Amino acid sequence: MPTSRARKIIIDTDPGQDDAIAILAALGRPDALDVLAITTVGGNVPLERTTENALMMVELANRTEVPVHAGCAEPADRALVTAEYVHGPTGINGADRPTPTTAVAESHAVDAIIETLETADDEGVTLCVLGPLTNIGAVLERRPDLTPKIAELVLMGGGHFEGGNVTPSAEFNIYVDPTAAATVFASGVPLVMMPLDVTHKALTSPERIAAFRALGTEAGASAAGMLDFFERFDIDRYGSTGGPLHDPCVIAYLLEPEIFSGRHCNVEVETQSELTMGATVIDWWGATDRAANCLVMNDLDADRFYALLVDAIARL
C-alpha cells in the first residue's frame, strides 16, 4: 500500500498498451506513488474499452482499491478519432487478460478529479495525462480556481523535431482534442511534456521485451504480450527497430526524473488550421518572446528507463 511520503497522483488514460504498461509500473511502486484514481477517456479505443482496459490493469496489479472513473467519451467540439490500427480492436491486444469483474466507480472522471483537487492538501496532486486531454480540459474550464492544487501536470503528447504520428504535424493525443490541449498549455499549471522527440528514443527491442517475460509473473507475461503486439505499427511505419514506449515516460519521470533531459520552452497548440490541426508549436530555440510554459523533454537514458519499468512490474 502507498507510503505516507508517496507522491499523490491521478492517471488520466486511454489504454492502449503503452498506457497499460504505465499503469502497471505506477501501481508497482506504492513506495513512491500514491495512485488516488485512474480516470479514463476516449482515445486509442472508445471510452467503454479504455475503461474496461483500465479495470483489467488494476485487477492484474491486484490493486482494485484504486478507483477507475470513466470520463469523456469524445471531445466537446469534434468527433472522436481512435487508433485501433495501432492498438488492435481491444486497445490492449496481447494482454490476454480475463474480462474484469471490478465495478467502475460511480462518479464521472471530471467530477472525481475536481473532488480530489478540492480536498487535496497544500502539496496538491500530480496529474499524469496519457491520452487526449479532454477530461483535463474540462476540469480546467469548469474550475480554474483549482489550478493551485495541481502540483504538476506531466503529459505524453506533441512533437517537434519528430513531427507528428497521426498527421505530418500532429501527435495523436493532441490531435484528438486540440482545444482541450490548448486549454492545458494556457492554464499556468506547471507542465512537463513527453513529446515524440523523447518517446521515439524509448524503443522496444527483443531483449527489452524478453526482460518483462523473464519475470515469470502474469504481469510480466501480459506486459511482454502487449509490447509484442504494440511495436509492429511503428516498425512498419518508421522502419524503426522497435516500438516507442510513449506513456510510461510520464511515470518514469516521476520515479527517476534524471533519466530525462530537455528544456523549458513556450508551447502552443494549433487549433485553427485544418492542415496543421493539433500541432504543438514548441519554441525550442527561443525564436519568440513568448514565455516558457512547459518543461519539454527530448532525450532519455533508454536502458535505465526499461530497467525501471521491469523493476516496477516485478514488484506487483
> Choosing among Ca ion, ligand RIB, none, which partner's interface includes residue 57 (Cβ < 5 to 8 Å by kind)?
none
Q: Are strands 294-300 and 191-194 parallel, antiparallel or unpaired?
A: parallel
Measured from the CB atom, is 124 or 243 closer to ligand RIB?
243
* Cα 113 to Cα 116: distance, rounded to the nearest angstrom: 5
**Which sign, positive or negative, has the C-alpha torsion 237, 242, 243, 247?**
negative
**Binding partner at 28 among ligand RIB, Ca ion, none, C-beta below 5 to 8 Å by kind:** none
Rounded least distance, CB 174 to ligand RIB, Å = 8
Q: Choose the contact partner of 228 out of Ca ion, ligand RIB, none; CB within 5 to 8 A by kind.
A: none
| Catalytic residue status for 246 | yes
Burial status of residue 1 (CB atoms within 10 A of its CB: 0-12, 13-18, 19 or more): exposed
Nearer to ligand RIB, 30 or 163 (CB): 163
Among 10, 66, 109, 130, binds Ca ion (CB under 5 A): 130
User: What's the distance, Cα to Cα, between the start and end of the chain in Å?
Assistant: 11
**Which residue ranges make up the site for ligand RIB (CB under 6 A)?**
14, 16, 18-19, 43-44, 130-131, 156, 165, 171-173, 246-247
Residue written as grid cell 530525462:
260
From ligand RIB, Ca ion, none, interface partner of 171 (C-beta below 5 to 8 A by class): ligand RIB
Would you count residue 282 as binding Ca ion (CB under 5 A)?
Answer: no
Shortest Cβ distance from residue 291 to Ca ion (Å)? 28
Report d(CA 52, CA 269) in Å as an integer: 30
Indicate the SS3 state at residue 158: coil
**Phi and psi at residue 251, in whole multiples of 5°?**
-70, -40
262 near Ca ion (CB under 5 A): no
Which is nearer to ligand RIB, 173 or 293 (by Cβ)? Answer: 173
Instruction: Supply the minimum distance, in Å, between the C-beta of residue 223 and ligand RIB.
Output: 15
131 binds Ca ion (CB under 5 A): yes
DSSP 93-131: TT---PPP-SPPPSS-HHHHHHHHHHT--TT-EEEEE-S
Is the link from the previous residue into 157 a cis peptide, with omega within 30 of 0?
no
Establish if 159 lies at the interface with Ca ion (CB under 5 A).
no
Helix-, strand-, coil-residue percentages of the chain, each rounded to 5:
40, 15, 45
What single letter denotes the amino acid at residue 40?
T
Stretch that binds Ca ion, among 113-121, 125-133, 206-214, 254-262 (CB under 5 A): 125-133
SS3 190: coil
Which of 35, 146 has the CB closer to ligand RIB? 35
Q: In this structure, what C-alpha cell is assigned to residue 203?
A: 524503443
Closest to ligand RIB by CB, 24 vs 120, is 24
Site for Ca ion in 239-258 (CB under 5 A): 247
- Interacting residue with Ca ion among 2, 7, 16, 150 (CB under 5 A): 16
The whole-angstrom separation of Cα 214 and Cα 73 is 37
State the catalytic residue, choosing from 69, 87, 160, 246: 246
Q: Which is nearer to Ca ion, 33 or 129 (CB)?
A: 129
Contacting residues toward Ca ion, per CB under 5 A: 14, 16, 19, 130-131, 247
Q: Which residues are catalytic, by number?
A: 246
